[in-house]
Amino acid sequence: MPHRIVFSDIDGTLLNAERELSEFTISEIKRIKDTIPVVLISSRMPSAMIHLQKQLDILDIPIICYNGGLILVDKKPIHSTFIPPDIIEDLHRFNINSSFHISLYHNDDWFVPEMDFWANRESQNTKVMPVIKSTEKVISQWRAENKGAHKIMCMGTEEHIDKAFLFLEHNFKDSLHLYRSKPTYIEIAHKSISKLTAIELLLDTHFKISLSDVVAFGDNYNDIAMIKAVGTGVAVANAKPETLKIADVVTLSGKNDGVAAYIKNNI
């Protein structure tokens, strides 16, 4: 299959052991970017991706944020699907004793009720600082503005996250995607979107490239549909077993520059 465009996940896939872009990765993407677009596709918010785009010199390329919930072209949304405030309120009521942390995201807004362990760790990982605002106030504000959450992140002990997952699965399995990216994390998105739906939309409306000409890199459960559908689906060696199973190719691990190694040898 020809490689006419690259889509790459970030965390666990593109970044090294220091959660940075290695010089090898930067140089390989810069080498191909003028003839083969490289699109970052992640559960991250825009500002947690744009600084990586800047390092790669691909600021003019669209980005897919929140697992497909938000697509930006020239820094403007061309697609936006969010979780309505009523669902957020039900989750907040379930968590009335604040047993686990709830982060709420809309476009480049990230709200946390306090800078606890989880908010601090996520801020260090993404290099973005959240706004401290109670969940009740965020819900009220979004209702008034006809907004919702492009992503909800629940973080806490495995025991509390297990309970949160069961609650969400029981009540909202037809409305929400639930990604258990770690035992202590749940990433929540609207059921109608995925990385694959976002890729299909961008290919159709912006790039005019066939899905069969795509190479996509990933590691986690939310990358499976994307890797399975594109012309060449590549899993990094550290990917989940289910992701490795459906990949066309397995490259080196993310920490060992697997994306850059594949690009060097195949593009």
In this prediction, residues 58-67 reach a mean pLDDT of 97
In this prediction, residues 102-108 reach a mean pLDDT of 97
Domain 5-80+193-266: assigned CATH number: 3.40.50.1000
CATH level 2 (architecture), domain 85-190 = 2-Layer Sandwich (3.30)
Between 98 and 142, the more confident residue is 142
Is the pLDDT reported for residue 24 higher than 80? yes
User: CA 108, CA 132: separation in Å to the nearest integer?
Assistant: 14
User: CA 133, CA 75: separation in Å to the nearest integer?
Assistant: 25
Name the band, by pLDDT with cuts 50, 70 and 90, for residue 247.
Answer: very high
Is the pLDDT reported for residue 261 higher than 80? yes
Every domain of the chain and the residues it spans: 5-80+193-266, 85-190
240 closest CA partner among 162, 166, 155, 179: 179
Q: Read off the pLDDT of residues 180-197 as tens digits, 9 standing for 90 and up.
A: 878 999 999 999 999 999
The pair of structure tokens assigned to 205 is 């409306």
Is the pLDDT reported for residue 1 higher than 80? no
